[in-house]
Homo-oligomer: A and B are copies of this chain.
Amino acid sequence: MKRIISGIKHLINYYLDKKRLHTVIFNSDTPAGKKFDIILLWAILLSVILVILESMPEIGHHHPNLFYVIDWVFTLLFTFEYILRIYSSKKRRKYIFSFWGIIDLLSILPTYLSLFVLSYHYLLVIRVLRLLRVFRILRLFNFTREGKVLLIALRKSIYKILVFITFIFIFVVIIGTVMYVIEHDNPGFSSIPASIYWGIVTITTVGFGDIVPMTYFGKFLASIIMLSGYAIIAVPTGIVTVELAKNRKHNITCKHCKHVIDAMDNYCRNCGKPVNIIE
């Protein structure tokens, strides 16, 4: 409570000064900015936990009004934050139509929409999307330095992995059709899409077991698929490992000044603007 009040106080003190407000809301270099981000982080996590708890029949069905009220409290809080963000941003239109601007809008929209729309159920997904906002806060906190290493490695290997998954997908479609023909009396393999689904479940070694081959030949083919899966699972691991092992610098171009910088830097060494590799 104390934290929230002091956070609000800070906001009011500076409310006339757009630049200061911008520093508090969009950066986290100042103590006030850090405090603001921590409050926001907790508000987001709490609101998502409440959505999760509400979905549990044991909890949600017994206190419908409680969750309704709390949801409105968080929505009004996030709406206030959204208005402040628009007010304090230097280029308002740019913020509103940016990735984070849309996510900010999506995190408050469902509650307002629920006043008009009946199918409240489907809005749940949009409400949980506010969890994505956690990444923005973590980014500001320089929390994702380690995540950056992973992201660069994944980004460098994503094209190889996509080619690999294309191969796998064509393999799985052919396998699925063969299994559909072999196991035509098995209700689990009632259509080619169902067989492809089984193929993916098997080749990724998930193996739910809701669909299993029944015939001798089907089991024999499944065995070959599983053993060939040994070579298959090794490929993406190899790709990522090799990329992570490379110690060379990953040079990217600063979006603002087009200066060539190191992807591991947080701020451009030429123009001083933050470097985003997530977007």
User: Is there an interface contact between B51 and A192, defined as CB atoms closer than 8 Å?
Assistant: yes
Chain B residues positioned under 8 Å from A196 (CB to CB): 52, 223
User: Is there an interface contact between A219 and B197, defined as CB atoms closer than 8 Å?
Assistant: yes
- Write the nearest CB–CB distance from A167 to chain B, whole angstroms: 7
Copies of this chain, how many? Answer: 4
Cα distance, A236 to B235, chains bound together (Å): 9
Chain B residues positioned under 8 Å from A48 (CB to CB): 173
A205 interface hit (Cβ, 8 Å)? yes
User: Is there an interface contact between A191 and B230, defined as CB atoms closer than 8 Å?
Assistant: no
Given contacts A146-B163, A147-B163, contact A230 B238 (CB under 8 A): no
User: Is there an interface contact between A124 and B180, defined as CB atoms closer than 8 Å?
Assistant: yes
User: Is there an interface contact between B209 and A208, defined as CB atoms closer than 8 Å?
Assistant: yes
Size category of the A interface is 35 or more
Cα distance, A220 to B160, chains bound together (Å): 23
User: Is there an interface contact between B161 and A231, defined as CB atoms closer than 8 Å?
Assistant: yes
User: Is there an interface contact between A204 and B229, defined as CB atoms closer than 8 Å?
Assistant: yes
User: Is there an interface contact between B237 and A238, defined as CB atoms closer than 8 Å?
Assistant: yes
Interface flags, A137-177, vs B, CB<8A=1, else 0: 00000001011011001100011110111011110011001
**Shortest beta-carbon contacts, A-B, top 8:** A206-B207, A208-B209, A209-B209, A238-B241, A55-B192, A234-B240, A238-B240, A128-B177
Chain A positions near chain B (C-beta within 8 angstroms): 48, 51-52, 55-57, 60, 121-122, 124-125, 128-129, 131-132, 134-135, 144, 146-147, 149-150, 153-154, 158-161, 163-165, 167-170, 173-174, 177-178, 180-181, 184, 190-194, 196-197, 200-202, 204-210, 212, 216, 219-220, 222-223, 226-227, 229-231, 233-245
